[in-house]
Structure 1
């Protein structure tokens, strides 16, 4: 299987995700499923503008990666999730990248319907 975002790679329990979706953001970076102390430390590295130390900044980065759009190209859901997944990889997140992408994407989709299209990841095998 190719590297990149795959919602089926998320190992976060349905209960944990459901709790995250229903809960308000507190700003604590570790409230995002898949982010523990090591991932929090990795996200906080880099230049001042590049450091992510809270969940609000992580959402901001997620939203910023939705573009840029141009006359001939609009960043759609699949490309957006890939950009976020690779951003996490570049920051040094070694585990649970798909879980983090899935958690943030689904949470943002409740606030901004259409920003994430989970149906784009349905297996053709499911239709048979």
Structure 2
């Protein structure tokens, strides 16, 4: 099991927390299928899932909903603060709350384009 070779400590900790001894797998009293089911059923904030995700817990649906609420609140605050201002006097819109897997797109500048052209010229 490659998962146990790379993340064995985290798996062992999660199984022990749930009342299972990983050594029972080698003793023959815990089947590989049962270990697989236990690992697949781990919550997003478990040690194993964090270990698989570079030490960061996976987001739950409620985490995404809270991020959406933060964004909505920031946007509404921005709208209210800028409602009586001319377009050229308005502050920039707030950046969205960072979410895992969704990197903020960088604005491309003239220097970026020149560097790209220099790299791709033949």
Scaled to the shorter chain, the TM-score interval is under 0.3
- State the TM-score, normalizing by the size of structure 1: 0.22
Q: TM-score, normalised by structure 2?
A: 0.23
Larger Rg: 2
Q: Which has the higher contact order (CA 8 A, sep 6+)?
A: 1
